[in-house]
Amino acid sequence: MDHIPAITLIVSVYNNFEWLRLILDAIRWQSFKDFEVVIADDGSDLKNVTLLQEYISSHPEIKISHIRHEDKGWRKNLALNNAVRNSNGEYLVFIDGDCVPHPDFLYDHYMLRHKGFVIGGRRVESAPYLNPMMESMNPLPNNFFIKIRRKILANVFRQRPSSTLSQIRRTIRFPFIFGRAIGLKSQGILGANFGLYRSDFEKVNGFDERYVHPGTGEDCDIDLRLGNAGVKHLKASHYALMIHKCHSRLDWTSEDNARLYREADENNITFTPYGLKQQKSE
């Protein structure tokens, strides 16, 4: 029987190999080694698929699976569920394809894991001047977080001090004191960075695949249903850090998403029949 990894890291992507390459480079620097990577691909084009396959072939030291379906519009929840279906780890960590994890990212998630809890990590919001700096790092060095912090400090007088200081604070990782984390808060999850036990994910049957528009359905819906099922939420503000690419906000207004979320909220729904274990007709 093959070794079952402690963690499955699921990376949701749609094209944008430039930043996926940064993520995969950062994964190679992880201090925690007992993991597998599953790429949840929502229909990337041939160019990006080819680049990813070349990267996977060039780095056999990392166990990477690429799970892709045809591009039929935004179907991220389906891609994520498919990734889980093709994974093996007991603990699931989800990140977006434009978020580059700190070298201790998986170690922090491993230390923070607890059955009956979903753990949300911190996302360091980038800035336009940081994007080209990140993209120029090829390969990504293991001290890239330090380089980013220095770049922010160098720009401290070019931006509003309060926003710049907030960026700097977000790059600070706290230590574990006698194996315990500092400053955990009860707060909802962010879809770009959260982890939970597979058994808790299965309790609510994963992501609801009826959401076919961005926003609400990906993280807010599962966050709500996990809470309804008694899975508690913890936010780790200075652990499981990552750099998030600066980009314009998507249009997240969707009446269909709002209706589905409202139904789940008003009816205290936990389990979706349109999730991990399919009960819907095609």
Contacts of residue 188, defined as CB under 8 A and 6 or more positions apart, other chains included, come to 120, 220, 223, 233, 235
pLDDT at 1: 47
Please, what's the b/e burial string for 16-40 (b: 16 or more CB within 10 A of its CB; e: otherwise)? bbebbbbbbbbbebbebeebbbbbb
- For 12, residues 6+ apart whose C-beta sits below 8 A from its C-beta are 40, 42, 76, 79, 80, 83, 94, 95, 96, 97
Structural domains in the chain? 7-143+174-266 (3.90.550.10)
**Structure tokens given for 151:** 């770049």
Q: What local confidence, expressed as pLDDT, does residue 230 receive? A: 97
What pLDDT, in 10s, does the model give residues 190-232? 778 999 999 999 999 999 999 998 877 778 999 999 999 999 9
Mean pLDDT of 115-144: 90
Q: Residue 82 corresponds to which amino acid?
A: N
Q: Using 50, 70 and 90 to split pLDDT, how confident is the model at 161?
A: low
Q: Please answer whether residues 199 and 115 qualify as being in contact, where contact means their C-beta atoms are separated by less than 8 angstroms.
A: yes
Give me the residue label for tokens 């770049």: 151
| Mean pLDDT of the chain, nearest integer | 91
- At 10-36, the pLDDT tens digits run 999 999 999 999 999 999 999 999 999
Closest CA to 195 of 81, 76, 75, 111: 111
**pLDDT tens track for 230-251:** 999 999 989 999 999 987 766 6
Tokens coding 147: 């380089």
Q: Is the pTM of this model over 0.85?
A: yes
